[in-house]
Amino acid sequence: MDRRNFITTGLAAAAAVAVSGCNEGNHVAIDYSKHPKTSADEQKTIHVNKNKKTTITLATSWPAHFPIMGTGVERFAQKIKDASGGSLEIKLFPKNTLVPALAVFDAASNGQIDAFHSGPYYWKGKNSSFSLFSGIPFGFTAEEINSWMLFGDGLRLWREQYDKYNLYPLLGGNTNIQMGGWFRKKINSLKDIQGLKMRIPGLGGEVFTKMGVNTILLPAGEIYTSLERGVIDATEWVGPALDMQMGFYKVAPYYYSGWHEPGSILELTFNKQSWNKLASEHKAIIDLCSSDLNSSMTSEFHYENIHTVPKLKAEGIEFLQFPQEVNIAGKKALEAVLAEQSAKNKDFEIVYASIKKHLDLSRAWSDISLRHYLNIR
């Protein structure tokens, strides 16, 4: 279309262009009426300057070409370029190439970079409520957290919290349900996990700490060696596909189903000023392509996991479940953690109240629909 017609049609045309460039997944329609009101700066309409290319610096917490998470962001960047006709380009910086993997939040907050791709629970030290936006133990599945984010209060609350740090988040993927972890020794009772040294982040880590586990945070590159040498006794990572590539099955043969991360959000977060300066057409393209990234990554995790399970079984790996007393202790520990954090942090209390309301409704529906179907299937 010519330039004049593009300006006249505005965001509707930009959205059409973006959809044509983001055609490799199902798109979730976003109800903008539920999003936070835009600021005066955001309300200003800025159009694309056809004589100038806009470049966004985006750092990730993953190595270059890291399966699913890293490659998903790479595809996202290419789609942005294609959908914008080359007027918008994402310049990717994998972990440690521009800033350290877990320094991306601060780097975007202070304007060192324009955006980052990572996970909200890594920043719980800044505000404990951030861990809730990733998901909670015994909580949301991927579908449920997306419904809370997009049509409930999730995205609004998330943006209100991040706004205090000069940041503007979008959904950037979901790991789908994660496994409970790899253990060097078999778990037959609650006593067997007490005293173990385990790598596990987020609220799940706090729950395991309450259960008597010595939880440890380690960067990805150190986990295998630490497990092999007995520095740690167990680790969780993601699920079969990524776990097998990490090689954990070679040094910790007991693989347990999990409940600590039933559906964990990943984030595509912008420096607020960098976002506000973008042309309205570019914002629309990014919004649509981030929606595609969110849905396609969730599906890709499912696809890769189901094709990896037979490979792990061929290696002699047995898929196990925690003893019931461990599960019961986990639920009690979660209640204690939620109560403690809600008492300490008003933000946490507000976000969790919204999650609980949504989760209670979702549980009532899934009990008469999905649970019934899976049981008879």
Q: How buried is residue 4: exposed, middle or buried, by Cβ count under 10 Å (0-12/13-18/19+)?
A: exposed
Instruction: Assess whether 40 and 123 both reside in one domain.
Output: yes
Instruction: Assess whether 124 and 59 both reside in one domain.
Output: yes
CATH number for the domain spanning 205: value is 3.40.190.10
Residue whose C-alpha is closest to residue 363's, from 208, 138, 173, 32: 138
Instruction: Assess whether 150 and 222 both reside in one domain.
Output: no
Instruction: Assess whether 41 and 158 both reside in one domain.
Output: yes
In a domain, 374, yes or no: no
Structural domain harbouring 58: 3-177+264-303
In a domain, 356, yes or no: no
CA–CA dist 133, 131 (Å, integer): 5
Instruction: Name the one residue in this structure whose structure tokens are 């943006």.
Output: 159
Instruction: Assess whether 95 and 215 both reside in one domain.
Output: no
In a domain, 118, yes or no: yes
Instruction: Assess whether 89 and 226 both reside in one domain.
Output: no
Each residue's pLDDT tens digit in the chain (377 positions)?
344 344 344 444 444 444 444 443 333 344 444 545 445 554 567 887 766 899 999 999 999 999 999 999 999 999 999 999 999 999 999 999 999 999 999 999 999 999 999 999 999 999 999 999 998 999 999 999 999 999 999 999 999 999 999 999 999 999 999 999 999 999 999 999 999 999 998 899 999 999 999 999 887 778 999 999 999 999 999 999 999 999 999 999 999 999 999 999 999 999 999 999 999 999 999 999 999 999 999 999 999 999 999 999 999 999 999 999 999 999 999 999 999 999 999 999 999 999 999 999 999 999 999 999 999 99
Instruction: Assess whether 146 and 158 both reside in one domain.
Output: yes
Q: State both tokens at 294.
A: 């969110």
Upper half-sphere CA count for residue 229 (Cβ side, 13 Å): 6
Instruction: Assess whether 323 and 189 both reside in one domain.
Output: yes
Model's pTM, two decimal places?
Answer: 0.86
| Number of folded domains that form the chain | 2
Instruction: Assess whether 149 and 225 both reside in one domain.
Output: no
Instruction: Assess whether 113 and 37 both reside in one domain.
Output: yes
CA–CA dist 328, 190 (Å, integer): 10
In a domain, 364, yes or no: no
In a domain, 368, yes or no: no
Residue whose C-alpha is closest to residue 281's, from 273, 289, 293: 289
Upper half-sphere CA count for residue 177 (Cβ side, 13 Å): 14
